[in-house]
Amino acid sequence: MFRDKTLLVTGGTGSFGNRFTEIVVKDYSPKKIIIFSRDELKQSKMARQFSDHPNVRFLIGDIRDKDRLYRAFEGVNIVIHSAALKQVPACEYNPIEAIKTNINGAINIIDAAIDQGIEKVIALSTDKAASPINLYGATKLCSDKLFIQGNAYVGKKKTRFSVVRYGNVVGSRGSVVPLFMKLREKKVLPITDKRMTRFWITLDHGVQFVIDSLSRMSGGEIFVPKIPSMKITDLAKAIGPDCKLEYVGVRPGEKLHEVLIPEDEFRNAYEFDDHFVLPPSKDHTWLLEKTESAYYKSGKRCNDGSKYSSDSNDTWLNAKEIMNIIELKD
């Protein structure tokens, strides 16, 4: 799929972009990987990391800048969009900035991709976009809608847009794992609510799922991996078994349980062995042929009245399994 192709990763100096680049350079044969981000310091560090790979290039730019995107997308075949303002408290405190990046930036990418003839664009989303209660989730829901409906703007051009939605990434920047690792020295770990559950996915799993979704996509889908849940108390016990748990209350904009597919979406979803797919609206005539494809026929329609939520998941991690994953990540 990537052989002799030029890939561009927005927000490419983040956790996902770093690991995605490592895997693609090692296991695939792309013509070029372009890291597009606005942080020159992170780019210089990443450039040293990939100094032996001349096909990894770096461009300074911001997805808010449509002109820069047009220039960056020239000659690109595939775009992986991972740039976003992601910290819930920061988005709550700086709502206009979150909208400029997460929503207006998505519009810029859609316009530039269509006009520059990009073949595939896959956007990374979050469980917080499903039934959102904070601004970050709301902006990502808007972004998801924009990318899915972006297929309606393509006309006779070849560009196709899809979305990948998954949960919290183990040890990524802003994750609770590095925080707990640091605070365990003080023998006290802050817990918002003992009932809280979360989906969990490793960075490698997330990267591979994006690669798999790129190979599956026809345009207009939201791909959701089947991933385990964990209790926040089990995470605390795994990292700091001798620590006291201090209950501090749920923060504004935070849920007790995360949802990857809410009930109203679940009835239209298809279930496969290791993932779900939310197909685009049947208002798109090109969907009618696609849902009859061998890919969709290999799955099954989901049950009406259900949902995919972290508190009712079939797969759970215990404290020992969590610790094994964290040690493997480190």
Catalytic position from the list 5, 120, 128, 237: 128
The half-sphere exposure of 256 on its side-chain side, counting CA atoms within 13 A, is 6
Residue 128 annotated in active site: yes
Sign of CA dihedral 98, 99, 104, 106: positive
Q: Which residues of 140-172 are buried (b: 16+ CB within 10 A; e: fewer)?
A: bbbbbebbbbbbeeeeeeebbbbbbbbbbbbbb
- Taking alpha carbons only, the member of 227, 224, 242, 195 closest to residue 325 is 227
Q: Determine the Cα angle at 79 with ends 73 and 80, to 5°.
A: 140
- Taking alpha carbons only, the member of 228, 284, 232 closest to residue 255 is 232
Interatomic CA distance for residues 167 and 229, integer angstroms: 9
> Residue with structure tokens 């799955």?
299
Q: Indicate the pairing of strand 168-169 with strand 78-81.
A: unpaired
Interatomic CA distance for residues 206 and 262, integer angstroms: 21
The amino acid occupying position 184 is R
Instruction: Say which residues have a Cβ less than 8 Å from residue 38's Cβ, sequence separation at least 6.
Output: 60, 61, 62
Interatomic CA distance for residues 285 and 199, integer angstroms: 34
Query: Active-site residue numbers?
Result: 128
